[in-house]
Structure 1
Amino acid sequence: MKINYNFLALSLFGNIRKYATKPKCSICMESQLIDHIKDHEIKPRKHPGVMKIRIAEVPVVVINAMKAVLKDKPVKAISFGGSELARYLKARHVPVEEDQIRYKGNEIQKQIEAKLGIDSSSLTDEQQEELELKYKNYVIKRLKETLYSWKPVVYNEHEALLYMVARFAPEYAVLRKIFTEIKTRDPDFNPHYMFDFGSGVGTGTWAARAVWGDVIQEHFNVDSSGDMNDLASLLLRGGNEEAEMSIKTVFYRQFLPASQTLKYDVVVSAYTLLELPSARTRLETIINLWNKTNRYLIIVEQGTNTGFKVINEARDFILQLGKGEEIHPSVTVAHVFSPCPHDLPCPRFMHDTTPCNFEVSYIPLPFEGRCDARKERFSYVVFKKGHRPASDVQWPRIVRTPLVRRKHTVCRMCVAAGKLEEVVFTASKHGKIPYWCARSSNWGDLLPMTVEGGKTEE
């Protein structure tokens, strides 16, 4: 029996009948851009929405510094331990809140009473207290079995080395990609001051230098681990404690400065919010970082469901702060610069069970054995100070790998209306140039067109 593979591929996105009956999408591309492509001034695979970067490689100077740091150390054991640490961090969940613990504890207590046939309403306060004490250990045991046991990771000298070997390369690739998008879409932006919260081994500093170079005059790095700060400083010294730092304007602290007077052009929090002990602490930290932001605030987490939920929590919080100026008069209004083309509630969080994440390719460090390119998935949000300008084109963002097939391409996108739209691009329906641009685009790119109508994913 002959199999229609194109038909089968489309079925991955849902019921095929819906494609046959769904309303057509209205696709509109600027005539000026169409003319540029027709005149071969721009190739479709290099249209202005493409965010592709080369496979990221950690600078040789950093690798040499790491080799110097790891000299006379058990590199294989450190590499293995780093892989274990990376897996642990990827599987982390947010800490359980106190009200969740109380609620679950009350549920277990009620189950005990139901099993014993006890009516708690008929018990005196003393009898109720005696019952709770009698089964306290059982309740605690059940809580430990059913609730996630969150513990802070203490980064001593050894743990810092594990983190460096396992996480420097992927985090460098992620931050470099985000910084590159900012530079591409906002070429006139020249950041002079950068603030990195949870700076770890200084990955953000190196990624920012790779994109903006000497334009950045000061890097202010904050990490609660003194050993992490020492290792980050040592890498800037080429692995030699007596040498001078290759980037002289880098400063390290273990705590967030209380003063809000100093502002930084770029503020970064990468893979840090999940290290905070509660939702309240996360939100307090986010508003603190926002108050230090002069232009861009970047928040990055793992591309897991947990990481995405934390990113969406931060996104909602900052956007709501801007709306509640009577409550927070000192807070400047914000809009989402990336990845969302809108400031509305996240449609994936509202209607889907998969995270909104993206992917970047990188070359792992030479200490990890084979150096074949790997991929890192991440969730992120970039806020920009001020209202969204009227000139913002709000192009749709491709949120999953397009299905490129014979004579059609299926793109799933987040659009300016705050919805997920699925469009089957064909040359006959949408025009050759929009079709070629769609075929040339990838996960994470912007499509240089407006999309209205069509099938909404909910």
Structure 2
Amino acid sequence: MSAAAHSLPQVDFLKGEIHRKHPGVTNLKTLRLPEELQMAAQSIIHRAQVTRLADRTQSLTNFLWKRKRAVEDSTLRQKAMSLEKELWLKAMEKKGDVDEQALDDRIRKKVVSELRRTTYHWTPMKYDEELGVVYMAARLAGGYAAVRRALNEIKKRDLSFAPQTLLDFGSGLGTVVWASHSCWGDTLKEMVCVDSSATMNILAERLLKGDDERAEPHIKQVYFRQFLPVSPKVQFDLVTAAFTLSELRNLKDREETVTTLWRKTSSYLVLVENGTKEGHQMLMEARDTLLNTQEKTVFDPRPASVFAPCPHELMCPKLAREQVKPCNFQQNYQPLPLPKHSDQQREKFIYLILSRTPPARPETEGVEWARLTAPVQRRTRHVHCRMCCSDGKLQHLVLTARKHSRDVYRCARSSDWGDQVPITQSADEDIEADSEIEADSE
């Protein structure tokens, strides 16, 4: 950010919009599922008659939120070697004759026991029909809200984008199809859903047909597959993977998957995960893979560019801090009307959008836009904004109408966590420690 830029450039960065609808606003009001989707889901859940549904829904929600990546084999080997060395050193400190073979066996058993006790045991999720219905009750509305909010970033900022084809990898209940249809229903002509779970594909199809086998699907031209299309030359305008990378066994699988998905992308690749440290780190892995890996065989030579949410392509500054916190966002939504569900809930998620075309940065118009990484703290005649800026740094800026112009101040005051805000002055304070407001991103 230019330290010399202390006054507002004479440009219409509002583009004719009122302050509360300025170009950086991408947050949505409280979302609810499309009526047809909600009615179909309620019908399926009611007919399934799952025992203890509310308790199982909460249990699955908690399990998926706390889910971690599997520990890499290399990490496990390194940990085993370090532990084995430590135990040998302790054993050698004791005087007397030692039966090395017996000691070696004891140490190996102790290492294995300790690793079993302290290592996260990752197992793939396997859905039968009943668990699929529990997942529907637990995650349909929240998952839809996160994806809809991520797609709104493209819809709001790229008015010319009118996708005709969609590929959704790890499609689950088909929430991406519904969210995409709500954004671009007039132009989408082919939607391919890929999920290895036949149970999930069946449930997704039932949702599209309103839980009536004889009915026409509410959204047409949706095709279900258990494997990705084979030809590397087949591309789709929009490619998505929502809450899918966390279901892959290791880093190698995740890297190969995002590389394959990128090859199949002609315009935008959208990745969404839970708003946890694990979700954040998986998306940053994917970001690094696609920005830094040079492929040997290239069918589409256009490189990846970060479209959102990062305003830069440098290392994520949150990962560089001593106390790592996820760069997550939130979206309010109305859950399915089921027992023990409140009237309104909040989905915390992380997303990454990569584009084949470098985004037209608003900085070229004389104003730099930064991404809000925490709720705006509104005070009398000033606001506190914590943001990620185009120089790759986290900044804390106190905005006032006198110092930063009335328009910039009012835009910031009307913005919320996850929006972009116009900045015309370099921040004096680099965030060194988390405030109480940023702790809410956990």
Question: What TM-score results when the alignment is normalised by the length of structure 2?
Answer: 0.89
User: Where does residue 243 of structure 2 map in the other structure?
Assistant: 271
Unaligned runs of 5+ in 2: 433-442
Give matches, 1:342-381, under 5 Å: 342-351=312-321, 353-381=324-352
Residue 96 (structure 1) aligned to one of 37, 50, 71: 71
Q: Which amino acid aligns with 1:31?
A: Q
User: Where does residue 231 of structure 2 map in the other structure?
Assistant: 259
User: Where does residue 27 of structure 2 map in the other structure?
Assistant: 52
Question: Shift in Å at residue 244 of structure 1?
Answer: 2.7
Structure-1 separation of matches of 2:354 and 2:261: 11
Q: Which amino acid aligns with 2:403?
A: K
Shift in CA distance, 25/130, structure 1 to aligned 2, threshold 3 Å:
farther
The CA deviation string for residues 277-301 of structure 1, in whole angstroms up to 9 with x for no partner, is 1000000001000000000001111
User: Where does residue 306 of structure 2 map in the other structure?
Assistant: 336
Unaligned runs of 5+ in 1: 1-22
SS in structure 2 opposite 1:289? helix
Shift in CA distance, 191/128, structure 1 to aligned 2, threshold 3 Å:
farther
Shift in CA distance, 335/50, structure 1 to aligned 2, threshold 3 Å:
same
User: Where does residue 86 of structure 2 map in the other structure?
Assistant: 111
* CA RMSD, Structure 1 to Structure 2 (Å): 2.5
Question: Shift in Å at residue 114 of structure 1?
Answer: 2.7
User: Is the Cα contact below 8 Å between 2:377 and 2:383 reproduced in 1?
Assistant: yes
Q: Which amino acid aligns with 2:422?
A: P
Q: Which amino acid aligns with 1:230?
A: I
Residue 299 (structure 1) aligned to one of 256, 266, 271: 271
User: Where does residue 162 of structure 2 map in the other structure?
Assistant: 190
Shift in CA distance, 391/433, structure 1 to aligned 2, threshold 3 Å:
closer
User: Is the Cα contact below 8 Å between 1:68 and 1:240 reproduced in 2?
Assistant: no
User: Where does residue 45 of structure 2 map in the other structure?
Assistant: 70
Question: Mean alpha-carbon deviation: is it higher for 216-225 or for 247-256?
Answer: 247-256
Aligned length: 424
User: Is the Cα contact below 8 Å between 1:396 and 1:451 reproduced in 2?
Assistant: no
Question: Shift in Å at residue 71 of structure 1?
Answer: 3.2
User: Where does residue 188 of structure 2 map in the other structure?
Assistant: 216
The CA deviation string for residues 361-400 of structure 1, in whole angstroms up to 9 with x for no partner, is 0001112434421111111110001345577656111111
User: Is the Cα contact below 8 Å between 1:237 and 1:245 reproduced in 2?
Assistant: yes
Give matches, 1:422-433, under 5 Å: 422-433=396-407
Shift in CA distance, 380/135, structure 1 to aligned 2, threshold 3 Å:
same
Question: What TM-score results when the alignment is normalised by the length of structure 1?
Answer: 0.86
Question: Shift in Å at residue 430 of structure 1?
Answer: 1.6
Structure-2 separation of matches of 1:25 and 1:443: 27
Structure-1 separation of matches of 2:65 and 2:117: 21
Correspondence 1:448 to 2:422:
yes
User: Where does residue 8 of structure 1 map in the other structure?
Assistant: none
Higher helix share: 1
User: Is the Cα contact below 8 Å between 2:3 and 2:425 reproduced in 1?
Assistant: no
User: Is the Cα contact below 8 Å between 1:47 and 1:448 reproduced in 2?
Assistant: no
Q: Which amino acid aligns with 2:373?
A: V
User: Is the Cα contact below 8 Å between 2:412 and 2:422 reproduced in 1?
Assistant: no
Structure-2 separation of matches of 1:413 and 1:190: 30
Residue 151 (structure 1) aligned to one of 123, 126, 131: 123
User: Where does residue 405 of structure 1 map in the other structure?
Assistant: 379
Give matches, 1:295-334, under 5 Å: 295-321=267-293, 324=294, 327=296, 329-330=298-299, 332-334=302-304
Structure-1 separation of matches of 2:93 and 2:138: 54
Percent identity between matched residues is 37
